[in-house]
């Protein structure tokens, strides 16, 4: 895994159609720390993650990574991303888990070590190995969320972007997810309303 990055937003403003979603917003996510974006629904938390990934472009302000000008391609190469509306396609869980490793940006992660760690990672999240043979669409919401978290871990990226990562998990599963994902010196930026997950943050950014 590469060195964990420093992410900085400086007076970023973003409009969607005529609605201003984010206004003059600044924050810094320091290397190796868990920065949590907290706010009411519609406050722009998910939008900030999508701005960082280059899915949207800010109207004003700037984003930097490692104190350099923003480059969407470079950010995506370093990032494992868990969206709130998780859609990993059709097929068995095993087929779904392989797909992200087929993208060019993830090729360095597709090695024997990742495959060997797959069952260990699923077990760490409370999932039995036989889940690999099940159809992904037939899983519960919590199981799908944990499969997504497993993929994020196995990609072994220095930056994790997690949008409401514990929204469908029970207390035991939340603890397992925190132990797996927040103790690896990664830079983590997440959004959450969950008091458990909020308590696991090194730095909390309030959005209004």
User: Residue 114 CB: number of other CB atoms within 10 A?
Assistant: 18
pLDDT for res 107: 65
Given a contact cutoff of 8 angstroms between Cβ atoms, the answer to whether 181 and 124 are in contact is no
Residue 111: pLDDT band with limits 50, 70, 90: low
Residue 102 in tokens:
């087929």
Give domain 7-206's CATH superfamily: P-loop containing nucleotide triphosphate hydrolases (3.40.50.300)
Question: Using 50, 70 and 90 to split pLDDT, how confident is the model at 28?
Answer: very high
3-state secondary structure labels for all residues of the chain: CCCCCCEEEEEEEEEECCEEEEEEEEEEECCCCEEEEECCCCCCHHHHHHHHHCCCCCCEEEEEECCEECCHHHHHHCEEEECCCCCCCCCEHHHHHHHHHHCHHHHHHCCHHHHHHHHHHHHHCCCCHHHHHCEHHHCCHHHHHHHHHHHHHHHCCCEEEEECCCCCCCHHHHHHHHHHHCCCCCEEEEECCCHHHHCCCCEEEECC
117-156 pLDDT per residue, tens? 899 999 999 999 999 999 999 999 999 999 999 999 999 9
- Domain edges within the chain: 7-206
Instruction: Assess whether pLDDT exceeds 60 at residue 45.
Output: yes
Query: pTM of whole model > 0.85?
Result: yes
As a whole number, mean pLDDT of residues 159-168 equals 96
């Amino acid at each position: 895994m590469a060195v964990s990055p420093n992410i900085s937003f400086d007076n970023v403003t973003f409009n969607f159609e005529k609605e201003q979603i984010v206004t003059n917003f600044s924050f810094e996510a320091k290397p190796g720390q868990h920065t949590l974006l907290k706010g009411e629904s519609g406050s722009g938390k998910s939008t900030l993650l999508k701005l960082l990934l280059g899915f949207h472009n800010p109207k004003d302000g700037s984003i930097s990574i490692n104190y350099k000008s923003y480059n969407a391609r470079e950010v995506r190469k370093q990032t494992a991303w868990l969206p709130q509306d998780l859609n990993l396609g059709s097929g068995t869980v095993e087929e779904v888990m392989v797909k992200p490793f087929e993208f060019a940006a993830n090729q360095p992660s597709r090695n024997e070590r990742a495959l060997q760690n797959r069952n260990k990672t699923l077990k760490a999240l409370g999932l039995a190995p036989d889940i690999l043979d099940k159809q992904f669409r037939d899983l519960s919401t919590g199981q799908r969320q944990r499969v997504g978290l497993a993929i994020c871990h196995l990609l072994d990226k220095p930056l994790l972007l997690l949008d409401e990562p514990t929204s469908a998990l029970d207390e035991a599963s939340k603890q397992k997810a925190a132990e797996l994902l927040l103790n690896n010196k990664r830079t983590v930026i997440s959004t959450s309303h969950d008091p458990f997950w909020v308590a696991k943050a090194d730095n909390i950014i309030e959005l209004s």
